Chain A
C-alpha cells in the first residue's frame, strides 16, 4: 500500500511546514523541498520500470531509439524544471520560477529540433515524389 505511505508523508510534511512557516520561513522552504524529493524518490523506481516497458515495446515495434531517447530526455527535463519552478514559486519567487521554465522550454526546443527537421525532410521528400 504505497499510496497510504505517500499520503501520510505528504500530510505530515504539510503540518510540519505549517508549524515552521510562521517562525522560520526559510526552513519551511527547505522542508517542502525535502518532502517533494522524498515523495518523488518513492515512485521513481516504478517510473523506471514503466520506462523499461516502453523501451521494450518500441524496440519490438521497430521505432528508432533516437526518437524515444529524445522523448525520455524531454520528460526528464520537464519534470526537473517543473520541480524547481514550483519550489521557487512556493517561496514567493515567481520571477525566478518563470526564468527556470523559460530555460527548460529552450532546452526542450533544442532537443526537439532534430525530430522536427526529420519530419520536414520526409514531408519534402513526399512532395518531391508527388510533383
Chain B
C-alpha cells in the first residue's frame, strides 16, 4: 500500500521534472528535444498507471465475480 501512494509522488515528480526540462530546452533553443522529453515522461508514467489499472480491474473482477 505504501508503494501505491509513492506512485502519486513519483508521477508528480516526473511531471515537474519534465516541465522544468522542457523550459530549459526551450530556452536553449532545442524544442525538438523538449518534445522527446515530454513523450518519454508520458510513456514512463503511462506504464505505471496501466499496471495500477490492471490491478484495479483484476481486484474488481474478483470482488464482483465479473468473469
A77 touches B8 (CB 8 A): no
B28 at interface (Cβ–Cβ under 8 A)? no
CB distance from B23 to the nearest CB of A (A): 9
Query: Using Cβ atoms and an 8 Å threshold, which residues of chain B touch A80?
Result: 57, 60
A24-B18, A34-B49, A37-B53 in contact; A44/B12 too (CB < 8 A)? no
Across the A-B interface, give the 9 residue pairs with the lowest CB-CB distance, nearest first: A76-B64, A23-B19, A16-B12, A27-B15, A20-B15, A76-B66, A48-B63, A31-B11, A37-B56
Where the two chains meet, the residues of A that have a C-beta atom closer than 8 Å to any C-beta of B are 9, 12-13, 16, 19-20, 23-24, 26-28, 30-31, 33-35, 37-38, 40-42, 44, 47-48, 51, 69, 72-73, 75-77, 79-80
